[in-house]
């Protein structure tokens, strides 16, 4: 069953919060660690906001369950006027194929 927008948003917000929580832990642990671990945690603290935002904004593409195809629209097209200024009037009461024209005033 596909997720609703609210469920998908809640999951992305939770993932963002977890990533930012890990970033906060990296900052706090910089107080106690030394050596190359300090570099690793510092890099995590710097680059995790970018990764968190990219992951939070990565919404899944929605695919509809079924595609509805619209019904074709029946159009009646009148023949173009033979002479400039002639008006073609389509009267649905007349039989198909017969149009009458008159001069534009």
pLDDT per position as a tens digit, 57-83 = 776 666 666 667 777 665 555 555 567
64 within some domain: no
45 within some domain: yes
| Neighbouring residues of 91: CB distance < 8 A, sequence distance ≥ 6 | 99, 100
Domain that holds residue 35: 5-57
Identify the pLDDT of residue 96: 56
Q: Which residue has the higher pLDDT, 7 or 70?
A: 7
29 within some domain: yes
69 within some domain: no
24 within some domain: yes
Q: Is residue 88 within 8 Å of 81, Cβ to Cβ? A: yes
Q: Cα 66 from chain centroid?
A: 17
**C-alpha distances in Å from residue 75, one per residue of 15, 21, 25, 47:** 53, 61, 67, 59
Rounded CA-CA distance 83/80 in Å is 9
Average pLDDT, the chain: 75
Q: How many domains does the chain have?
A: 1
Identify the pLDDT of residue 4: 81
77 within some domain: no
12 within some domain: yes
């Amino acid at each position: 069953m596909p997720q609703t927008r609210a469920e998908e948003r809640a999951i992305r917000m939770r993932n963002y919060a977890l990533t930012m929580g890990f970033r906060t832990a990296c900052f706090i642990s910089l107080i106690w660690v030394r050596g190359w671990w300090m570099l690793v945690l510092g890099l995590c603290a710097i680059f995790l906001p970018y990764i968190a935002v990219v992951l939070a904004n990565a919404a899944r593409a929605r695919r509809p369950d079924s595609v509805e195809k619209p019904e074709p629209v029946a159009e009646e097209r009148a023949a173009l006027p033979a002479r400039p200024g002639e008006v073609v009037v389509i009267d649905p009461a007349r039989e198909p194929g017969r149009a009458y024209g008159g001069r534009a005033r």
